[in-house]
Amino acid sequence: MKTKTLPVNNIQSQQGYSIIELMVASVIGLVVLSGAITVFSGNKSSQEMSSGMARIQESGRVALDILSNDIRLTGYQGCTNGTITPSVIATVQPTVNLPMEALWGGEFDGTDWSPAEHTDLSAIKNSPKAGSDIIYVQHGSGRTALLSTSMTSLSGPISLETNPDQLAEDDLVMISNCSSADIFRASSVSNPTGTSTAVSVGFAAGTDNTQSSLNAIYTVDTGGAMNNPMRVMRFESNAYFVGDSGRDDKNGNDIYSLFVVDTTSPTKPFAAVELVEGVENMQILYGERLDTGAIRYLPAGGAGLNMNNVVSIQIGLLVASTNEITTADDDRTYLLADVKVGPPSSTNSVKHDGGRTLRAAFNSTIQLRNRRL
């Protein structure tokens, strides 16, 4: 009987990876992984930069639109030529001489104002940022209403066809024609949200007004709505400045914003309302028309500047991201309305906060429609 011989395993026929091959493969894997991480990190950084710049662009445009729309109306009081001084009977008066007080500007260095601080603004709860400008404008709203019936006496009431501005109780109201104007506080308003039904606006002496009569009886004029010089509108008095939002970014840096203060409120101190986040600095130059017809631009408090002759305004905003995005500290200098705003280490009189924050400058020139060039 034959015995079957099993094959002997040949150790040399078994093959695997050597230590060198494993090390090479590991190195290749690490290189590939490192490249993937680098690409991912680069894409993330690029995305943060793009997203941050998009937010800055949006904030800058919105802030300039808000300021431009309001500043452009400075001194507006209906069909008058802007030289008529309205009779103000409201007890809390943001103005007593609109032609002379429709525009005010100031610079604040943290301690002193140039020119002296406006009396209305001393009641602001929030303080403007040092090194940033403040601008204060007054005018009638562009959303005007017409009388539905003529007034029969100086004590009113005033009947409106509609209420496009949604005038309500305690609002400061201006009524004007081409020869006179009155500013009073509405002591009562019927149907304040009505946009297509008659609205009655009353005014009474006491806490709201010093008297219960206007200085003129306003009547419905002929010629249709487009040619009717009679106008009733909200009186607006707004101060704009840059201040601390009270919030910090993730690195503990202050976040600044554009604020507005409505000084027509019947109560003091006036509260500031935050409008646009990320506005870090505002610089303003006032275009004064000289006797020669030329226009020169000066800062608020500039030598010889006559605010009554200002016909245009240059405004510059520095808008910053609300987080540190860049890989290095911002050492750039920005031009805001011809004012250089440099890094903390610069010799510029106005400086930004530096850090790894992304910033962009926005500039615009605004013509005051109610002051002829």
- When mean pLDDT is compared across 31-45, 119-133, 243-257, the lowest value belongs to 31-45
CA-CA distances (angstroms) from residue 98 to 74, 84, 199, 233, 326? Answer: 10, 8, 27, 15, 47
62 is written with which tokens? 């919105």
Encoded tokens for 108: 């604040």
Task: Say which residue, 94 or 362, is predicted with more confidence.
Answer: 362
Question: pLDDT tens digit string along 95-112?
Answer: 888 888 899 999 888 888
Calculate the average pLDDT of the chain. 85
More confident call, 50 vs 311? 311
Q: How far, in Å, are 101, 134, 287 from residue 306 at the CA level?
A: 12, 17, 10
Q: Please tell me the distance from the alpha carbon of residue 276 to that of residue 270, in angstroms, as a whole number.
A: 19
Using one digit for the tens of pLDDT, what is the confidence trace for 100-143? 889 999 988 888 888 988 888 876 766 789 899 999 999 999 88
Domain layout of the chain by residue ranges: 51-86+93-139+235-367
Q: What is the mean pLDDT of residues 81-90?
A: 83
pTM of the model: 0.84
Is 53 a residue whose pLDDT tops 60?
Answer: yes
Q: What is the pLDDT of residues 162-201, one digit of tens each?
A: 888 889 999 999 998 888 899 999 999 887 776 566 788 8
Position 154 scores a pLDDT of 92
Measured torsion, CA atoms of residues 198, 158, 86, 295, in degrees rounded to the nearest 10: 10
Report pLDDT for 19: 77
Q: Is pLDDT at 65 greater than 80 in this prediction?
A: yes
102/39 Cα distance (integer angstroms)? 56
